[in-house]
């Protein structure tokens, strides 16, 4: 087994070749106005995928990176939400489920301002977009200004953030909530087992899983979990996409950390456009304080999800026995005040490392957790896994229940560098580039061996490799979100 510190000489032998291969993946997945994650498994435009694609493609075509984001925001709803899928009408309905005829955005979403000109889903994904827009602008400021790129996307980004900060503050503590596991992006994480266990699944006859035709069934979510995903989406659609009524509502650390990072980026965009960014920086700092107050557990050195619909007191789950004595649990376990933290160590809890004003003691605790036995950063694994290596639900190949993903590791790499951990960040960067090359830009990988899983030629894997090929000074030139 190779360690992260042993990987990988390949990029130094052919950085130009790696750049060419990564750019070819993006070219293959380009549809003319946007990029599909995978030609086979995901044949439409996905929201946070497009943000990561834009971050990488800015190094080969800043114009295409701008178009990527503009196309996505052309499908924004009147209430400000950015849908997690924008459907390509030329793709057959049976190529992906849930398809446009399931979501019925133009009819069921009418009250929320769904567009008439394009079909979309009704849920959202993590708000990486303002961060992406700022980085795309910095790649070619002259082109950006000549096209009025920031001036056109800024009001749309501001509306997107308003939607999350107002419509989705379901817990009343200032943080945005996700109302479906697909919204958080880490669809099949064990962090969702407890809140999902309360959801009655849709009957198997109500859906057909197109994903099993392109991926190994043992690596994908179970039929039971998929039935619960369908039930939640069906109920949300039947409720005309009104927020706050569903049985699933979770405050997630990664989703909110990306919102905060994008608030910092929006502040920079405002300054570029001649307005003051002070209020947005202040809001980002308030959100950081709320994130620490509501989701940080000092006893374990980890951010956890908060289940807003769960039982009072300890965070129980429907799949595992109660934790044995000596197994760390969040500080809210045993308390009588709702709502409860979910005692599962998902990589989502490490993503707040990207925040520039995170308190030092929190940063130090997160770094200890990342380097410890649960995630093995720099020691036990090649890339940081999506879930606790010691957890009862860990599986190195099953979707988001253990495999390592390029986007989460890219975020951790940037967080390490932001907080001065340059040597460790460089080791992770080298491991990411080597793994991308070894696996032909796989969708996700075994965290121990780096063996590729899921789709190959995956768009964000290629895009983020392009970004990582740049020297750190160039990637951070002009600032990012700090």
Residues annotated as catalytic (active site), given as ranges: 187, 443
- Strand 306-307 with 340-341, pairing: antiparallel
Here the tokens at position 58 are 């800015």
How does DSSP assign 302-329, residue by residue? EE--EETTS-SSS---SSSPPPPTTS--
The Cβ of residue 392 has, within 10 Å, a number of other Cβ atoms equal to 13
Fill in the DSSP letter of residue 281: H
Contact by Cβ (8 Å): 365, 302: yes
- Rounded distance between C-alpha atoms, residue 471 and residue 302, angstroms: 30
The distance between the two most distant Cα atoms of the chain, rounded to a whole number of Å, is: 62
- Rounded distance between C-alpha atoms, residue 246 and residue 261, angstroms: 27
- Rounded distance between C-alpha atoms, residue 154 and residue 130, angstroms: 8
Find the Cα–Cα–Cα–Cα dihedral 17, 18, 23, 28, rounded to 10°.
Answer: 90
- Rounded distance between C-alpha atoms, residue 23 and residue 463, angstroms: 8
**Please, how many CA atoms are within 13 Å of residue 93, restricted to the half-sphere of its CB?**
9
Here the tokens at position 10 are 């390949």
Here the tokens at position 103 are 């979501």
Here the tokens at position 239 are 């409720």
Contact by Cβ (8 Å): 52, 481: no
């Amino acid at each position: 087994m190779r360690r992260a510190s042993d990987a990988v000489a390949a990029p130094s032998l052919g950085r130009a070749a790696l750049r060419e291969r990564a750019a070819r993946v993006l070219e293959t997945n380009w549809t003319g106005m946007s990029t599909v994650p995978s030609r086979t498994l995901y044949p439409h435009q996905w929201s946070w995928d497009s943000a990561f694609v834009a971050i990488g493609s800015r190094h080969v075509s800043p114009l295409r990176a701008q178009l990527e984001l503009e196309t996505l925001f052309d499908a924004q709803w009147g209430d400000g939400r950015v849908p997690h899928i924008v459907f390509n009408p030329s793709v057959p309905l049976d190529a992906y489920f849930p398809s446009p005829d399931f979501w019925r955005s133009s009819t069921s979403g009418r009250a929320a301002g769904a567009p008439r000109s394009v079909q979309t889903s009704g849920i959202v994904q993590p708000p990486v977009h303002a961060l992406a827009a700022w980085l795309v602008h910095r790649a070619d400021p002259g082109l950006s200004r000549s096209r009025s790129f920031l001036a056109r996307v800024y009001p749309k980004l501001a509306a997107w953030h308003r939607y999350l900060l107002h419509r989705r503050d379901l817990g009343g503590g200032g943080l945005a909530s996700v109302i479906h596991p697909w919204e958080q992006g880490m669809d099949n994480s064990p962090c969702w087992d407890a809140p999902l266990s309360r959801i009655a699944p849709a009957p198997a006859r109500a859906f057909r899983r197109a994903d099993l035709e392109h991926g190994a069934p043992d690596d994908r979510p179970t039929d039971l979990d998929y039935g619960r995903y369908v039930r939640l989406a069906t109920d949300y659609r039947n409720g005309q996409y009104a927020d706050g009524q569903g049985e699933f509502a979770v405050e997630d650390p990664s989703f909110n950390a990306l919102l905060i990072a994008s608030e910092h980026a929006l502040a920079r965009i405002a300054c570029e456009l001649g307005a003051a960014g002070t209020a947005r920086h202040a809001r980002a700092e308030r959100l950081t304080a709320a994130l620490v107050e509501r989701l940080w557990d000092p006893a374990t050195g980890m951010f956890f999800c908060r289940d807003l619909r769960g039982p009072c007191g300890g965070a129980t789950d429907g799949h595992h026995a109660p934790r044995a004595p000596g197994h760390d649990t969040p500080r809210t376990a045993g308390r009588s005040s709702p709502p409860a933290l979910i005692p599962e160590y998902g990589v989502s809890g490490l993503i707040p490392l990207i925040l520039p004003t995170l308190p030092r003691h929190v940063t130090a605790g997160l770094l200890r957790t990342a380097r410890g036995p649960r995630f093995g950063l720099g020691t036990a694994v090649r890339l940081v896994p999506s879930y606790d290596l010691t957890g009862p639900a860990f599986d190195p190949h099953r979707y988001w229940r253990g495999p390592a993903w390029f986007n989460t590791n890219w975020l951790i790499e940037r967080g390490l560098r932001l907080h001065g951990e340059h040597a460790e960040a460089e080791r992770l960067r080298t491991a990411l580039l080597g793994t991308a090359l070894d696996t032909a830009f796989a969708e996700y990988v075994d965290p121990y061996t780096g063996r590729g899983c899921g789709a190959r030629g995956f768009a964000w894997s290629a895009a983020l490799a392009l970004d990582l090929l740049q020297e750190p000074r160039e990637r951070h030139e002009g600032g990012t979100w700090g």
